[in-house]
């Protein structure tokens, strides 16, 4: 029996809204054929299941024999995609333009060359306005085909005009691809490693970034050339922890959309990602007033009844809203208050499980663990940290894997589970040895935890103070600040020194910053 979680037809059906399902039923019945009836029966059977069960499908629809099921599912998948394409065509300009290209091809095949050229000219004009140069290039190639094979006598100098247009468009498309490739590679680097760990890391990533960055005149650049240029810089400065420059380019990214209503309407996912990166940067900078403004903008977008909606957009809104709501609680030191949104967060994690990649889930688990730890509940914190620590693909977000283990050590100490501490310290050492990522902050914490048993209760305050002073000196090194982005160990030590909850310490610091 196929695994339900991997069955493409079942997964696609589970993403459909009520109106999309109603549209499909009308679409499937358009010919009134027996085959269409089987499609609907199979569709209804799958739609009624929580998990894919092939035997149950066959029992529910006796008209479908087991030998037919594979072909019927393949055809159902194509029909669903065709129905969705038709349903959403009005909200996707690229779908509309590709349809017009198909119509131009039909006219060309019938020998109606002038008709085809007029349609192609309309498509090209619309695509140019929407900065869809890949479609412009397709139109130009089609126009050259017609002009090169037939004497259309359209306009004098047409050949030179088409040639110049094609060369100009290719140059823009080439730069767009260079910049988007660089932005994607930088993002991939961030997912793998996180922030730079030392000068060698910094020099390596800087050389890589500069080598891949093409020359660009921003005044003459297309919308997408500017966008990918800003994206690449955002990821470069995020990796190198230069958050002031990261803020600058994230703001440029958002401004690009704010000044272009058409692009904000046509590319909402990229606009939202820009807002999210701006929020993450202001969080890293502890720039709360700006963080609050941008989060309010994101919240308003989500509540707008007239905005576009589709499963992809809803997934991103969930991801960005909850990530930054949690970050807001962290900045304000409201860990206990933040726990109130955990049940709905977990519910949405399940709702969007098909759309969310493992990296996103790991980050959410780490943030939930941090909420529990900050609110003085180390037990639940350990449970969520274990979800990160025992994740099979350990190479994903090695920094999160690392700091989850360190926070787990501290949580075990807070929970009074000292009996397993020595074993865990050795286990984490082995993990970091494989990563080649033993930083001074980690070493200091390990040494401290290993000697905890030697301190009397009256000596603990002095021990915590020494460790805090040591970590404060370590944090003065720019390359050693990375751990403190994930784990506010200084505030935890201050809470132990003053014998008050850690969230009270962070809330007090937040009040001073405002």
Poorest-confidence range of 60-69, 223-232, 470-479? 470-479
pLDDT at residue number 1: 38
357-514 CATH pick, 1.10.8, 2.60.40, 1.25.40, 1.20.58:
1.25.40
Nearest-CA neighbor of 95 among 83, 103, 86?
Answer: 86
CA 219 to CA 199: how far, in whole Å? 34
> pLDDT tens digits, residue range 311-366?
889 999 999 999 999 999 999 999 999 999 999 999 999 988 888 888 888 889 99
Token couple for 484: 């403190």
pLDDT at residue number 66: 86
Poorest-confidence range of 154-168, 293-307, 445-459? 445-459
Q: Is 448 within 8 Å of 406 (Cβ atoms)?
A: no
pLDDT at residue number 3: 45
pLDDT at residue number 287: 92
Residue with the bigger pLDDT between 337 and 426: it is 337
Token couple for 161: 């005009």
CA 280 to CA 292: how far, in whole Å? 12
Question: Residues 401-416, buried b or exposed e (16+ Cβ, 10 A)?
Answer: bbbbbbbbbbbbbbee
pLDDT at residue number 397: 59
CA 48 to CA 17: how far, in whole Å? 14
CA 312 to CA 315: how far, in whole Å? 5
> pLDDT tens digits, residue range 36-82?
577 788 898 999 888 888 888 888 888 888 888 888 899 999 999 99
If you count them, how many residues does the chain have? 514
Task: List Cα–Cα distances, 132 to 140, 222, 223, 372, in angstroms.
Answer: 13, 10, 10, 47
Residue with the bigger pLDDT between 498 and 249: it is 249
pLDDT at residue number 324: 96
Band of residue 413 on the pLDDT scale cut at 50, 70, 90: confident
Question: Residues 310-342, buried b or exposed e (16+ Cβ, 10 A)?
Answer: beeebbbbbbbbbbbbbbbbbbbbbbbebbebb
> pLDDT tens digits, residue range 119-168?
999 999 999 998 999 999 999 999 988 887 775 555 567 778 888 889 99
> How many Å is the Cα radius of gyration of the chain?
28
Residue with the bigger pLDDT between 19 and 416: it is 19
Mean pLDDT of 78-96: 89
DSSP 52-89: --HHHHHHH-TTS-HHHHHHHHHHHHHHHHHHHHHHHG
Mean pLDDT of 244-253: 97
Whether residue 112 is predicted with pLDDT greater than 80 in this model: the reply is: yes
Mean pLDDT of the chain: 86
The DSSP symbol for 15 reads T
Residue limits of CATH 1.25.40 in the chain: 357-514
């Amino acid at each position: 029996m196929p695994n339900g979680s991997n069955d493409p037809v079942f997964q696609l059906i589970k993403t459909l809204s009520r109106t999309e399902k109603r549209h499909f039923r009308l679409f499937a019945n358009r010919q009134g054929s027996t085959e269409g009836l089987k499609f609907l029966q199979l569709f209804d059977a799958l739609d009624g299941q929580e998990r894919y069960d092939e035997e149950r499908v066959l029992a529910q629809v006796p008209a479908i024999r087991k030998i037919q099921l594979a072909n019927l599912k393949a055809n159902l998948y194509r029909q669903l995609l065709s129905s969705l394409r038709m349903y959403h065509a009005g909200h996707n300009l690229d779908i509309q333009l590709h349809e017009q290209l198909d119509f131009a091809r039909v006219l060309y095949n019938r020998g109606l060359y002038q008709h085809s050229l007029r349609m192609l000219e309309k498509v090209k004009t619309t695509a140019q306005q929407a900065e869809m140069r890949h479609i412009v290039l397709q139109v130009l190639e089609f126009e050259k085909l017609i002009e090169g094979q037939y004497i259309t006598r359209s306009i004098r100098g047409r050949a030179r005009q088409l040639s110049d247009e094609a060369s100009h468009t290719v140059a823009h498309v080439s730069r767009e691809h260079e910049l988007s490739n660089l932005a994607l590679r930088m993002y991939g680097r961030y997912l793998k490693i996180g922030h730079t760990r030392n000068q060698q890391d910094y020099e390596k990533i800087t050389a890589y970034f500069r080598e891949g960055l093409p020359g660009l005149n921003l005044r003459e650049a297309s919308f997408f050339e500017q966008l990918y240029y800003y994206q690449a810089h955002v990821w470069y400065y995020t990796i190198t922890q230069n958050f002031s420059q990261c803020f600058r380019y994230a703001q440029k990214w958002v401004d690009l959309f704010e000044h272009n209503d058409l692009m904000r309407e046509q590319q909402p996912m990229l606009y939202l990602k820009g807002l999210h990166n701006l929020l993450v940067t202001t969080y890293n900078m502890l720039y709360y007033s700006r963080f609050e403004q941008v989060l309010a903008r994101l919240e308003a977008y989500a509540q707008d009844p007239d905005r576009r909606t589709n499963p992809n957009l809803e997934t991103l809104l969930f991801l960005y809203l909850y990530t930054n709501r949690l970050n807001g609680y962290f900045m304000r030191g409201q860990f206990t208050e933040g726990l109130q949104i955990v049940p709905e967060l977990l519910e949405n994690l399940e709702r969007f499980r098909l759309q969310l990649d493992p990296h996103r889930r790991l980050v959410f688990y780490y943030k939930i663990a941090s909420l529990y730890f900050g609110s003085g509940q180390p037990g639940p914190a350990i449970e969520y940290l274990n979800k990160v620590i025992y994740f099979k693909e350990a190479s994903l977000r090695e920094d999160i894997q690392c700091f989850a283990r360190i926070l787990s050590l501290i949580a075990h100490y807070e929970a009074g589970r000292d009996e397993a501490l020595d074993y865990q310290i050795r286990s984490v050492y082995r993990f970091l040895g494989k990563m080649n990522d033993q930083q001074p902050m980690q070493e200091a914490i390990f040494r401290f935890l290993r000697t905890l048993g030697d301190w009397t209760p009256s000596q603990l305050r002095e021990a915590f103070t020494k460790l805090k002073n040591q970590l404060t000196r370590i944090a003065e090194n720019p390359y050693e600040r990375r751990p403190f982005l994930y784990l506010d160990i200084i505030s935890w030590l201050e809470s132990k020194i003053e014998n008050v909850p850690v969230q009270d310490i962070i809330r007090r610091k937040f009040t001073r910053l405002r």
